[in-house]
Amino acid sequence: VWNFSAGPAALPLPVLERAQRELLDWNGSGASVMEQSHRGKRFIAMAAQVEADLRELMNIPSDYAVLFEQGGATQHFAQIPMNLAGEGDTADYIVTGHWSEKAASEAATYVGVNIAANSKSENYLRMPPREWWKLNPGAAYVHIATNETIHGVEFQDAPDVGSVPLVADMSSDILSCPIDVSRFGLIYAGAQKNIGPSGLVLIIIRRDLLERPVRPMARIFRYAEHAANDSMLNTPNTWGWYLAGLTFEWLKERGGLSAMAEENRKKSSALYAAIDNSGGFYSNPIDTPVRSRMNVPFTLHDSALDAAFLQESEAAGLMALKGHKAIGGMRASLYNAVPYEAVEALIAFMRDFSQRHG
């Protein structure tokens, strides 16, 4: 079975096989990793290694802290303004799809939200050109979602926003290609696409931002407290941390993020070409340069065929191709764990289906 789920998504098979082998006896301890104290030597050594591997993979500069948080990306939609904005501050939000829109609306409780650019009136089919953005030089930060998981648009590079810290939701494209971390003030990502199980959220934050004066809040919401306590202010998601580590090791063995970038480009290009060359049977209306490499939404020329497409694809071992209810149609998510072979199988199925139903 090939799994094209948008999330929680497929994990690399070798990662799952190793987790299975180690499930009952982790690291010679005679117990599962889930049964280890997070204060124990074994767990602390593993946690540090996982962070070191992530730093190596993403080339994270030493003036950035890496936090292993919980609450899903959604909780951090709120926690980010709580931590980065003081009383009376404003922040700029670039709205390019469902998730950045949601981030902006959740933030509004804690910061004055300025929608500096918004492509909603164009159904999010293209990125608002950078020269149209109405940025406020006094903003506490600028927020973007680098990849819109539902609408299938992706930034090709970090936009230039001057000296205001750039905050990016990378939930659905983190680790899919090399990035220059120093272009960002804060990067956050829920784990359930390219990292590991849901329930873990990675935060990569420039350390000076931890010093921002903040409103009174419980310690558990303060990133500075988590950083000062090595993400062990309370019991962390130990299982998620462990599995993330297995994924990072797998990525290193695969040749790191440059190798993943090449593989991901090859997979998405092949699928977009199959859609574009289908004689109108399938279509993806996104502006070509900003098409997502991770999530490929597409429609059939006649939506009356959708049910048959889903039923037959599932019978052919192609799982979770139903599009998000907000836009309908189909969606194939091509995260790191989805091999080229899976995309080939999908393309072959799509060709065969269009011949039979064309």
If binding is defined by CB under 6 A, does position 74 make contact with ligand PLP?
yes
Taking the CA of residue 289 as centre, how many other CA atoms within 13 Å lie in the half-sphere pointing to its CB?
7
Which of 99, 272, 282, 309 forms a contact with ligand PLP (CB under 6 A)?
99
Compare residues 73 and 210 and give the one whose CB is closer to ligand PLP. 73
Furthest C-alpha separation in the chain? 63
Which of 94, 116, 145, 177 forms a contact with ligand PLP (CB under 6 A)?
145
352: CB partners within 8 A, 6+ apart: none
Which of 3, 5, 7, 334 forms a contact with ligand PLP (CB under 6 A)?
7
Segments of 207-286 assigned E as strands: 282-283
Compare residues 200 and 210 and give the one whose CB is closer to ligand PLP. 200
User: Token pair of 200, please?
Assistant: 């873990």
What are the contacts of 216-224 at 24+ separation with CB within 8 A? 217/82, 221/79, 221/82, 221/83, 222/83, 223/65, 223/67, 223/79, 223/83, 224/83
Instruction: Return the range that interacts with ligand PLP (CB under 6 A); candidates 128-136, 165-173, 245-253, 309-317.
Output: 165-173
Compare residues 187 and 274 and give the one whose CB is closer to ligand PLP. 187
Considering just the CA atoms, what is the radius of gyration of the chain in Å? 21
Note if 169 is an active site residue.
yes
Query: In the complex, which residue's CB is closest to ligand PLP?
Result: 72
Instruction: Return the range that interacts with ligand PLP (CB under 6 A); candidates 164-172, 236-244, 249-257, 305-313.
Output: 164-172
Residue 202, judged by CB atoms within 10 A of its CB (0-12, 13-18, 19+), counts as buried
Quote the least distance from Cβ 305 to ligand PLP, whole Å: 27
Choose the catalytic residue: 2, 53, 193, 267: 193
Interface residues with ligand PLP (CB under 6 A)?
Answer: 7, 72-74, 99, 145, 149, 169, 171-172, 190, 198
